Amino acid sequence: MGGFVAATIAITTGIAAAAPYDQGPGDYLVNVLTYNVCAANNRDNTCAADLTPKRRRAWAGEVSALIRSRNVDVASFTEMCYAQVDLLKRKLPDYRMVWFGIDEAPAPDGRDRCRRLWGALTKRTTPPDGKTFGLALALKGPLLGPPLRRRLSVDLKPGPGSRVHPRGLLCARAMVGPRRSVSCVTHISDSESPRQVARLLAPYADGSPVILGGDFNRKPQDPELTPMYGLGLGTGNYAEVDTGTDGTARRGGDPTTRGGRKIDYVFATEDVFRPVHAEVIRTSPELSDHRVLAGTFSGTVPLPLGDGGPWRGSFPEYLRRRPGRRR
């Protein structure tokens, strides 16, 4: 299971030691990170203290240092301003930044909060489509073709008092380690289902392994996440990086928000990726009302049929699949 870490991310060292696992000759490590950066504050004003001018000036340097210190292959960002993409690109020129603008971020006075908060640091505050607020990926490997950008539909009845926000899914094909993979990020609320996200990305992935990070706004035991979890924990085909790296698969993980909830996840195709290590990082000073979820998967290059994939029996639940499940 992951551990909770408080760190000054500008001076972090490498990722903590991973749990032991049987590494095969075709195995490789993939370091991942997901972070809801709350870049335009929110209607509850929970990020106001995190968006002081001093912290905005430090943001790109600290986040890029976190990515480099952990040798991150796939970083996903939610609630991000386009201006931050430009700021991060300056610090990470060897990474590929992929953007999906979902919405503008109007303040009560009508001004765009992204431009207002970040405009003093860059003139690049607005992408061509005018959507200053959305999702982003930072990928170490080379991109392979155009990305997938999809607005999500409301396919669940919102809870009492819930507000429907524009939501989306962003995916990009890239080399992750030695193999072609699809990296994705999403941000959903109680009016959009994880099942919808999985359904939309599947044709784009076209059989390639998937790494999907983001803010799912649900705790691990929520039944709406059952179509995501594999390993005998659900009906889906994904392992989650904080599922449990001690040989016992579980739906859980350390809290990823200041309020004590685990709602941020990194899922990966279970037939290819095995969770090795995860930790939740509280930056000092805090840069968001969310924590950083970082971790490592062990990936396996394609193996002959019948080999059993990367798990090799290490999770008993993985072997107890329902009849008719795809192996």
pLDDT by residue, tens only, the chain of 327 residues: 455 444 444 333 333 333 444 556 669 999 999 999 999 998 888 999 999 999 999 999 999 999 999 999 999 999 999 999 999 999 999 999 999 999 988 776 778 999 999 999 999 999 988 999 999 999 999 999 999 999 999 999 887 877 788 999 999 999 999 999 999 999 999 999 999 999 999 999 999 999 999 999 999 999 999 999 998 999 999 999 998 766 678 899 999 999 999 999 999 999 999 999 999 999 989 999 999 999 999 999 875 555 555 544 444 443 334 334 443
Degrees to nearest 5, angle at CA 165 with 280 and 84: 55
* CA dist., res. 253 & res. 3, Å (int): 9
User: What pLDDT was estimated at residue 56?
Assistant: 97
What pTM was computed for the model? 0.86
- Quick one: 226 exposed, middle or buried, by C-beta within 10 A (0-12, 13-18, 19+)? middle
Residue pair 171/147 in contact (Cβ under 8 Å)? The answer is yes
Instruction: Give residue 22's pLDDT.
Output: 56
CA nearest neighbour of 262 among 285, 244, 236: 244
Residues in CB range of 264: below 8 A, 6 or more apart: 34, 35, 36, 213, 214, 215, 216, 256, 257, 290, 291, 293
Q: What is the pLDDT of residue 57?
A: 96
Three-class SS state of 192 = coil
- pLDDT score, position 303: 56
pLDDT on residue 81: 98
Domain spanning 3-14+24-317, CATH class: alpha beta
